[in-house]
Structure 1
Amino acid sequence: MNFTRSLTSQTADSLNTSTATPSTQNLLDNAVHNTSIFSLKGLQNRLFARWFNRLVYPQIWEDPEVDIAALNLNAHSRIFTISSGGCNALNYLSVQPEHITVVDLNEAHIALIRLKLAALKHLPDFEAFFDFFGRANLPKNIDHYHAYLKPNLDSQTLAYWEGKERVWGKKRIEFFTDGFYNHGLLGQFIGLIHWTSRQLGYDISKVMQARTLAEQTRLFDEHVAPVFETRLIKFLSNRPVVLYSLGIPPAQFNEMVEQSNQQNQGMHLLLQTRARRLACQFDLKTNYFAWQAFNRQYDIEHLQAVPRYLQAPHFKAVSQGQSNVEVFHQSMTERLKAMPAQSLNAYLFLDAQDWMDAQQLTELWQEVNRTAQPNARVVFRTAGITSPLEENLPSALLSHWRTDTNINHEFTEQDRSGIYGGVHVYVHAQ
């Protein structure tokens, strides 16, 4: 869940721009100014912003198959999306859209998608690309970086990957030689979950031994579900700061608390239910989200449980389309303000609206209305079940948009990551 991928203000830094980049911390600080620093919520928001000033998502956790279907993406699509790990934009290139505009508040996510775009253009073939971003743990990746990528990166992206997280640590680009998906805030947190589970006497990776859906359920009940019933996990599940590493900001945490209260269950059981959906509802052969959560890597043997952009049949379309992607270190609202009227027909907001207040949502949707073409679609996710729009937006802003709760429920059930309470689709009526 992705606080860092949204919200308010500052200047643009596009892929082809030479102007100074606004700092991630400034963008994040501005994003949390909707709450007083003297309130508990304000303090939590600012702590969350500080916590997220780094690489958070080595991989995105929204299912692109759901997005592609819900947004009805095709060759005529003009897409606006938050970057996060950059996987979504590259996955959308498989349908050869007309254009993709990408924004993110976090410079680490910007550097990651720019590295991926450079790799699509300059690495010699699909095998080299898959080694770099699919296996992401080979010593030869650093040789490919120096030979093909480093000479073709802009100065800001180069500075990020040549830099270090800690003075005594390795360069960030070396993450691709020892398991990139184990890095980043979420990757490290998943590793901590595995370690903690082992200390409690369980091994959650054993769910990956399943060969059928029935076996997935049995192994989950034996090796994963009991972890959520331990005193330690019950305690940690009710501490919002612990869940920051899962990308759950304070407002989303409160939504989940409300949902768990409505269902008369503890937070640990709500988290257990979502983990069960991830592990048991979909065939492990193709669910790369489960592979990353429980096996900490993609399916590098059969190449089935991998995202579209890492699948050989899609590679030609993805690599040819990279020039149709523009990247901006900027908020959604500010980038939309700079775009022409009726210039977009597909918007992917991830879960960024969850913690925006009514004023921020109103400013965002004023620009959505201005930039939307007839029949445009907006897709987003929420930590809870319900959409925040009807409660927080002036009715006039939604008067031309339609949503269907039954269809939304179907897409929620289809999302293989299983971690969200709701997937919502809004369609612009002519």
Structure 2
Amino acid sequence: MVRKSAGMGGKLLDHAFAFAFRGLVYAQIWEDPEVDMEALQIRPDSRMIAIASGGCNVLSYLVAGPAAITAVDLNTAHIALNKLKLASARHLPDHAHFRRFFAEADSKANIRAYREHLAPHLDDATRRYWEGRDLMFRRRIGGFRSGIYKRGLLGGFIGAAHLLARLYRIDLKAILAAESIEDQRRVFEEELAPVFDRKFVRWLTDQPASLFGLGIPPAQFEALAGDQPMAEVLRRRLEKLACDFEINDNYFAWQAFSRGYGKGADCPLPPYLKEANWEKVRDRAQRVNVVHANMTEHLRAQPDASLDRYVLLDAQDWMTDAQLNDLWREITRTARPGSRVLFRTAAEPSLLPGRVEDALLSRWTYHEAPSADFTRRDRSSIYGGVHLYELA
């Protein structure tokens, strides 16, 4: 069983992971924005900073009406995707165009909409990205004609999971036809769970590189697995995704089991794609500033007490103690009274105690019971913990 990635082998894994993360990773972000907004308690005067990733949550936070959001990311593909989504919210003619572009994302009409409504409003770097070609020589904007959620590192991982399931004569889409929570559990236990007992699957999932597509680097792999076979961990996470929430209220399940959002008018969607939120997202899109930067470095350039909502996703799982302390030093310096910080971890506990200096961490209150509740209700189901800290 593979656990530690030490020496030359570990360095090679780290380099392989870094290389994999150079391109598009997440066409859709895998953190539940409704949980986020409840935890953050966004106010009209909130000034937020968030890791951008696929942009779904940044745009969804606009529904809550903050004063400003800075979306930062080191991945140029994610920067380009965020800018495309914001331009789409501002310049596509109506919600029908917006929904077709990002909820369906598989129409030739999207390419025409890009040329007519979006390309003229993009900066040169963003336009070059979308009109350029990926490693398979496909024009990147073509993903919105053929299914953007099938692309990127995560899209490829989910596609590989579907292929592996078919080899075992399992149809992952079957669960989407379930008519009740009880029916969902039956499908999971009869059709999905047994695959994790297959010897090949157990061997494959114990290889750290096999989970790069989930955005899990070698260090995070070890934290997620602990002393258990990774197949058991993944079985429990998939069980939560498949069984703990109604399929018709969980767009993460649709992404996992159908490689996209549903086509029907009543299929679940992220908040930013819902018709009821269209005008809010469109009117507030100019409040988002997308920055190609490291979170800590960007915070270092901000004034004291200038921000009050921080969304770190799971980035801290990748950090050394020195990097964690640098980050929290800048968060604490830039935080206004009552500031809130939200992040996720692969393992269940918060990773901050014992790693961030007491002088820093003691200024923050950890909301333990609400964090456990947010973890339970996060429909993406892939994280061990959702954690909320508030400036004491």
2:70 corresponds to: 101
1:184 corresponds to: 152
- Report the 3-state secondary structure (helix = DSSP H, G, I; strand = E; otherwise coil) of the residue aligned with 2:289: strand
Uncovered stretches (5+) of structure 1, i.e. residues with no partner: 1-35
Contact kept, 8 Å, 1:37 with 1:43, in 2: the verdict is: no
Match of 2:182 among 207, 214, 220: 214
Q: Is residue 129 of structure 2 the alignment partner of residue 160 of structure 1?
A: yes
- Report the 3-state secondary structure (helix = DSSP H, G, I; strand = E; otherwise coil) of the residue aligned with 1:285: helix
Q: Is residue 230 of structure 2 the alignment partner of residue 230 of structure 1?
A: no
1:174 corresponds to: 142
Shift of 1:299: 2.5
Distance 1:403 1:56, change over 3 A: same
Contact kept, 8 Å, 1:207 with 1:223, in 2: the verdict is: no
String of CA shifts for 1:184-238, please: whole Å, max 9, x gaps. Answer: 1111110110011110121121111111000000001122111111111101110
Distance in 2 separating the partners of 1:50 and 1:371: 32
Contact kept, 8 Å, 2:307 with 2:334, in 1: the verdict is: yes
1:346 corresponds to: 309
2:10 corresponds to: 41
Contact kept, 8 Å, 2:313 with 2:342, in 1: the verdict is: yes
1:145 corresponds to: 114
Q: TM-score, with normalisation over the residues of structure 1?
A: 0.88
1:29 corresponds to: none
More displaced stretch, 399-408 vs 412-421:
399-408
Q: Which amino acid aligns with 2:290?
A: V
Shift of 1:42: 3.1
- Report the 3-state secondary structure (helix = DSSP H, G, I; strand = E; otherwise coil) of the residue aligned with 1:402: strand
Contact kept, 8 Å, 2:367 with 2:390, in 1: the verdict is: no
Shift of 1:38: 5.3
1:337 corresponds to: 300
1:65 corresponds to: 34
- Report the 3-state secondary structure (helix = DSSP H, G, I; strand = E; otherwise coil) of the residue aligned with 1:390: coil
Distance in 1 separating the partners of 2:267 and 2:169: 31
Shift of 1:372: 0.3
Q: How many residues align?
A: 388
Aligned counterparts, 1:116-155, within 5 A: 116-155=85-124
- Report the 3-state secondary structure (helix = DSSP H, G, I; strand = E; otherwise coil) of the residue aligned with 2:186: helix
Q: Is residue 261 of structure 2 the alignment partner of residue 292 of structure 1?
A: no
1:83 corresponds to: 52
Aligned counterparts, 1:230-309, within 5 A: 230-258=198-226, 261=227, 265-309=228-272
Shift of 1:169: 2.6
Distance in 2 separating the partners of 1:269 and 1:208: 23
Distance in 1 separating the partners of 2:340 and 2:368: 15
1:18 corresponds to: none
Shift of 1:75: 1.5
1:4 corresponds to: none
- Report the 3-state secondary structure (helix = DSSP H, G, I; strand = E; otherwise coil) of the residue aligned with 2:339: strand
Distance in 2 separating the partners of 1:304 and 1:339: 41
Distance in 1 separating the partners of 2:340 and 2:259: 33
Distance 1:303 1:107, change over 3 A: farther
Distance in 1 separating the partners of 2:6 and 2:330: 28
Q: Which amino acid aligns with 1:187?
A: G
Contact kept, 8 Å, 1:96 with 1:318, in 2: the verdict is: no
Shift of 1:404: 2.8
Distance in 1 separating the partners of 2:147 and 2:45: 37
Match of 1:360 among 315, 323, 326: 323
1:21 corresponds to: none
Contact kept, 8 Å, 2:87 with 2:118, in 1: the verdict is: yes
Contact kept, 8 Å, 1:343 with 1:373, in 2: the verdict is: yes
Shift of 1:39: 4.6
1:202 corresponds to: 170
- Report the 3-state secondary structure (helix = DSSP H, G, I; strand = E; otherwise coil) of the residue aligned with 2:216: coil
Contact kept, 8 Å, 1:303 with 1:311, in 2: the verdict is: no
- Report the 3-state secondary structure (helix = DSSP H, G, I; strand = E; otherwise coil) of the residue aligned with 1:211: coil
Q: Which amino acid aligns with 1:169?
A: F
Distance in 1 separating the partners of 2:158 and 2:125: 29
Q: Which amino acid aligns with 2:350?
A: S
- Report the 3-state secondary structure (helix = DSSP H, G, I; strand = E; otherwise coil) of the residue aligned with 2:248: coil
Shift of 1:300: 2.4
1:318 corresponds to: 281
Distance in 2 separating the partners of 1:45 and 1:303: 42
Q: Percent identity?
A: 46
Q: Which amino acid aligns with 2:25?
A: V
Distance in 2 separating the partners of 1:397 and 1:147: 51
Match of 1:401 among 364, 371, 391: 364
Uncovered stretches (5+) of structure 2, i.e. residues with no partner: none
- Report the 3-state secondary structure (helix = DSSP H, G, I; strand = E; otherwise coil) of the residue aligned with 1:173: helix
2:340 corresponds to: 377
Q: Which amino acid aligns with 1:111?
A: A
Q: Which amino acid aligns with 1:295?
A: S
Distance in 2 separating the partners of 1:421 and 1:38: 28
